Structure formats: structure tokens, C-alpha cells
């Protein structure tokens, strides 16, 4: 997974008796995103690692979050996505600027940073 943005974390104030507030955060990765919603007064965290990459190391990710949040119980749902993703580009090079809304020569992507494979 390649990180495209720095993590963004926000405090979510209490909304009602069921939602006593917590912190939510996300990071954009090359393949999609990772989001985390914490409910500290309920000792609960919900984490989504959303990617269409076939090279995801599920065991590493599970261990990372178990260790980071000292989880005693987990509920893991794996959903394979992107199963109908085209095997090649369907838009010609000359049409790309029209779709992106920019001229090809003016678009410069930043080099993505890598997410370290070490926990903590």
C-alpha cells in the first residue's frame, strides 16, 4: 500500500446517548483508503482497510491493528472488490485531458510515499 496523504484525525463530539463521541481518522492510499472510528467510552474501534489491491497482506494488517489498539476480540469481514475492473485503459491518451478536466501536460502527480510495515 502506498500512502498518498498524511493521516487526518478529527474529534467527533458526542451526538446522543448511543454515540458518546470519539476520534475518527483516515489516510488516502494509492488503491483507496484506510479509515478508523473510535468510541473510547465503549472500548470499541471500527477500522476499514478499503483497497482493490490483490497484494494486501491481511495477516500483517490484522496483527498491526490488534497490537496498536490492544484488541482482545475482533470481527473481520473481507469483501473482494474490483472484480469487474477493466484489464486495460478504455480511454485513449488523447481523450484523457477531457475526462480529467485538465491538459495532460499540466497534470503532475506527486510521488506517493510508502506505508512502513513496522507496527508502532
Predicted confidence at residue 79, as pLDDT, reads 85
Strands 22-29 and 8-12: antiparallel
Predicted confidence at residue 118, as pLDDT, reads 45
Q: List residues with catalytic annotation.
A: 32, 37, 52
In a domain, 16, yes or no: yes
Tell me the CATH number at 110.
3.60.90.10
In a domain, 120, yes or no: no
Residue 50, C-alpha cell as written in the block: 478499503
- Structural domain harbouring 52: 2-83+90-114
In a domain, 21, yes or no: yes
In a domain, 29, yes or no: yes
Predicted confidence at residue 30, as pLDDT, reads 87
Predicted confidence at residue 119, as pLDDT, reads 42
Residue 119, C-alpha cell as written in the block: 507496527
Domain count, the chain: 1
For residues 95 and 103, give the distance between their C-alpha atoms in angstroms, rounded to a whole number. 10
In a domain, 119, yes or no: no
Residue 83, C-alpha cell as written in the block: 472484480
Tens-digit pLDDT string for the chain (120 aa): 788 999 999 999 999 988 899 999 999 998 899 999 999 999 999 999 998 777 788 899 999 999 999 999 999 998 888 788 888 888 887 777 767 665 554 545 555 555 545 444
For residues 38 and 7, give the distance between their C-alpha atoms in angstroms, rounded to a whole number. 15
Spatial contact of 30 and 48, defined as CB atoms under 8 Å apart: no
For residues 74 and 16, give the distance between their C-alpha atoms in angstroms, rounded to a whole number. 25
Task: Return the percent helix, strand and coil in the chain, to nearest 5.
Answer: 20, 30, 50
In a domain, 28, yes or no: yes
Spatial contact of 55 and 61, defined as CB atoms under 8 Å apart: no
In a domain, 33, yes or no: yes
pTM (predicted TM-score)? 0.68
Amino acid at each position: 500500500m502506498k500512502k498518498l496523504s498524511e493521516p487526518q484525525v478529527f474529534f467527533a463530539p458526542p451526538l446522543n446517548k448511543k454515540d458518546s463521541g470519539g476520534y475518527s481518522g483516515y489516510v488516502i492510499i494509492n488503491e483507496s483508503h484506510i479509515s478508523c472510528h473510535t468510541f473510547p467510552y465503549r472500548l470499541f474501534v471500527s477500522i476499514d482497510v478499503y483497497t482493490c489491491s490483490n497484494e494486501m497482506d491481511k495477516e500483517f494488517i490484522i496483527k498491526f491493528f490488534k497490537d496498536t489498539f490492544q484488541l482482545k476480540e475482533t470481527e473481520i469481514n473481507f469483501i473482494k472488490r474490483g472484480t469487474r475492473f477493466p484489464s486495460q485503459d478504455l480511454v485513449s491518451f488523447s481523450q484523457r485531458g477531457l475526462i480529467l478536466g485538465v491538459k495532460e501536460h499540466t497534470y503532475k502527480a506527486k510521488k506517493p510515499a510508502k506505508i512502513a510495515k513496522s507496527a508502532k
